[in-house]
Amino acid sequence: MSQSIALDPTDLGILRALQNDARISNKALAAEVGIAPSTCLDRVARMRAAGVVKGATVEVDAAALGRPLQAMLAVRVRPHHRAVLNPFVGHVLKLPETRALYHLAGPDDFLVHVAVADATGLQRLVVDGFTARTEVTQVHTMLIFQQWSGGPLLPPEPSVPARRLTAG
């Protein structure tokens, strides 16, 4: 679980660099943010211990693994109780097609990002992996044509004033 820690501009520079290249060496990271390598190592260790830095990941191309068709499944589950939700979450996370799972507020309870070989594989997954379960009351399938990732997740710059949105 993440602790609340104060992050100074150097910490934010470290986070920005790590998010852009998680494999950067400590020496190169220290040089990029302008601190000694030992200081950099200590700061990264502090952010890991506090849960700010949770690890490093490898992005794998689903198409290269024979799963070029991706979709989002909007799933409704009833009854909406932990005794039902927890086993459902466990089931979905064990499916090899699952890329990500989100528990939502709103008309749908879950959004599941999946990757499959083809339309037949998607149909099999929806029918056998989802609608065959008694707690699943509805599944909406949305094909993903293209995907973009956002940039580094950092706090807003303190010098940038918040913008107000007005209806009109």
H helices, E strands: number in the chain: 5, 4
Q: Whose CA is closest to 84, among 106, 110, 117?
A: 110
DSSP state of 140: E
What's the CA gap between 21 and 75, in Å, rounded?
Answer: 34
What's the mean per-residue pLDDT of the chain?
Answer: 91
Residue-wise pLDDT for 142-158, tens only, equals 999 999 988 888 876 66
Note the pLDDT of residue 163: 47
Longest dimension (CA), the chain: 58
Report whether pLDDT(81) > 70.
Answer: yes
Name the phi and psi angles at 92, rounded to 5. Answer: -65, -40
Note the pLDDT of residue 152: 82
User: 3-class SS at 46?
Assistant: helix
Do the beta carbons of residue 114 and residue 144 sit within 8 Å? no
User: pTM of the predicted model, to two decimals?
Assistant: 0.79
What residue ranges define each of the domains in the chain, with the CATH number in brackets? 9-49 (1.10.10.10), 62-144 (3.30.70.920)
Note the pLDDT of residue 130: 98
For the chain, how big is the Rg over CA atoms in Å?
A: 21
Report whether pLDDT(1) > 70.
Answer: no
Note the pLDDT of residue 160: 47
> Which DSSP string do the residues of 48-89 spell out, in sequence order?
HHTTSS--------GGGGT--EEEEEEEEESS-SHHHHHHHH
Note the pLDDT of residue 158: 61
